[in-house]
Amino acid sequence: MMKHILKYILVVFLSFVSGRLLAQEASMITRLYDTFSENLVTLEVDYSVKGGGPEVKGKAELQLQGKAYHIVGGGYDIYCDGESVWIVDQTSKEVIIESLTEGPEGYMTNPALLLSRLDEFFDVKSIAGRKYTLKPKTKGEITAAEVTFSPEGKLVSGVFTMSDGNAWTITVSKMTTAPQKPLTAFHPSVRFDKSWIVTDLR
């Protein structure tokens, strides 16, 4: 269950296109890339997942800084300091710790990587106004993607079609920036004592 919730929350990061999409849109893409490269970015999002089963809806707040991030949503706190990932369930007092995967195989569980290297995984199929239709460069869980930007180059929404038939829709309700903070701020604040179930996969 934890892995499924995690995927639903983390897929929102796939909405951010920061690369060599089309030359005529370079200024908008460059502004977006610079925003995520130079700041601490906070996003408030709504997401829904439709497919063969019941529709899943939720909200999440995400803080991103380079490869580091903190996600709150679906009952979980997910931390990453650029090297390790902590998936924390405060209610059941359970935590899973994993190493950050930096290759293409990790794009579903490593959203921070996509902010600076998403262009390695997707090509632009077409552009209609500020709506980009993307296609993955290699076969994976995402078979198609569509993202929309505001005139200022901020992400508005994303729709992603998965190999299992699910369609994920993400809407960004708020996007703010702040000065970067130390990477230690992306460590869990809770102390995992003997009352916690700790699964360390590093």
Domains of the chain: 2-200 (2.50.20.10)
**What is the per-residue pLDDT across 76-109, written as a single tens digit (0 to 9) for each?**
999 999 899 999 999 999 999 999 876 555 555 4
pLDDT computed for residue 17 by the predictor: 41
Count other Cβ atoms within 10 Å, centred on residue 151. 9
Mean pLDDT of 56-83: 88
Confidence bin at 53 (pLDDT 50/70/90): confident
pLDDT computed for residue 115 by the predictor: 47
Residue 45: partners with Cβ closer than 8 Å, 6 or more residues away: 12, 59, 60, 61, 62, 170, 171, 172, 173
- pLDDT > 80? residue 194: yes
pLDDT computed for residue 79 by the predictor: 94
**Residue 78 one-letter amino acid:** I
Confidence bin at 180 (pLDDT 50/70/90): very high
The percentage of residues in the chain with a pLDDT greater than 70, rounded to a whole number, is 74
Mean residue pLDDT of the chain comes to 78
- pLDDT > 60? residue 66: yes
Tokens standing for residue 127: 């552009």
Are 195 and 91 in contact by the 8 Å Cβ rule? The answer is: no
Task: Tell me which of 31 and 99 has the higher pLDDT.
Answer: 99
**Residue 162 one-letter amino acid:** M
pLDDT computed for residue 86 by the predictor: 95
pTM score, whole prediction:
0.75
Are 53 and 165 in contact by the 8 Å Cβ rule? The answer is: no
Could you tell me where the beta strands, DSSP code E, fall in the chain? 40-50, 56-65, 68-73, 76-80, 84-89, 94-99, 122-128, 131-136, 142-149, 155-162, 167-178, 197-200
